A = this chain, B = another copy of it.
Amino acid sequence: MPVIQNILVVCRTEPRHRIMLEEALPEASFTYAGPDSASEEAVAEADAIFGNLPPERLKSAARLKFLQLNSAGTDGYTAPGALPDGVLLANATGGYGPGISEYMLGVLLSLCKKLHCYRDQQHRALWQPLGEVRAVAGMTVLVVGLGDIGREFARRVKAMGAFVIGVRRRGTEKPGYVDELRLTEQLDELIPRADVVALCLPGTAGTRNIMNRGRISEMKQGAILINVGRGTALDAEALCDALDAGKLWGAALDVTDPEPLPAESRLWNTENLILTPHVSGGFTLPETHDRVVQLAAENLAAFARGLPVKSIVDLETGYRKL
């Protein structure tokens, strides 16, 4: 059984969260700091770390046995040599789905009902109907990526009356929250069927530019694109071209490449594009913050007691081990 004496917490915590952690491991000693402000000594002494310590700082973590990220994304932690040998890596999948999926439904409905355009009119005190809107009920929604976030979004949009096609890397047993299950390699034939393409993908080599110019051009006339995974999944120039050409009804991006998005980017001003500064997840929702700390407390306690840890990351793929 690994000895877990010193735990370094670089994830932001409220007093209620510190109680949760310390009650889960009464025998351990906790140090709280920021990812950058944590002392070299605290890193060197840590048996376990909770939070996204910058990967370059991990080299100093000589005693580290377990790293619990506070994010679902594992970018930077799975590269060869990023982690000291023998360190177990877990992410915070499961914490973000409920919050991000509500955001996704919110931007989808905003686009469908033209709420972004009405917001602009409101500032000009303009009482003017803007014509036809769209219904989510009856739409075909392609959810690309069926992790925690994609799954929760699929559930919600299905409850609204959409026909949901879920796309994942592998597995063929259709879960109840989608109407149809497909594999990533079938993406090209699925895109032309979709009224909505929703990308909920982690940032891995396999997802880079997955929604490239060719695939955007194969989208249905009047379709909608949503991206909440990583900005790198999408050809942003091709998306702007498709919106400018009136091919798409609209798009919503919570992630861009790079972030923060430079002020001169074309994305800011493209019509019918809703842009938010990577806020669909994070700890903007208090319930998410609580869930992530709860998961960390359970995992730290389990690891210290030699029990199974949840959401271990496969360093080969960057995904959770199944």
Name A residues whose Cβ lies closer than 8 Å to a Cβ of B: 98-99, 102-103, 105-107, 109-110, 112-113, 115-116, 118-123, 125-138, 156, 159-161, 259-261, 263-265, 268, 274-280, 282, 284-287
- Cβ-defined partner of A129 (8 Å) among B118, B261, B284: B284
Which residues does chain B contribute within 8 Å of A160, judged by CB atoms? 102, 105, 156, 159
Q: How far is the CA of A147 from the CA of B136 in the complex (A)?
A: 21
Select A127's contact among B103, B113, B261, beta carbons within 8 Å: B261
A106-B106, A110-B115, A261-B127 known; A132 vs B285 contact (CB < 8 Å): yes
> A136 contacts B102, CB within 8 Å?
yes
Taken together, the copies of this chain in the complex come to 2
Whether A133 pairs with B285 at a CB distance below 8 angstroms is yes
Are B112 and A115 closer than 8 Å at their CB atoms?
no
Central interface residue in A103, A107, A118, by most chain B CB within 10 Å:
A118
Q: Which residues of B contact A130 (CB under 8 A)?
A: 279
Q: How far is the CB of A98 from chain B (nearest CB, A)?
A: 6
Does the CB pair A133–B279 fall under 8 Å? yes
Across-interface contacts of A280 in B (CB, < 8 A): 113
User: A284 to B102, Cβ gap below 8 A?
Assistant: no
Docked-complex contact B102 and A276, CB < 8 angstroms: no
Q: Which of B99, B134, B137 contacts A135 (CB 8 A)?
A: B99
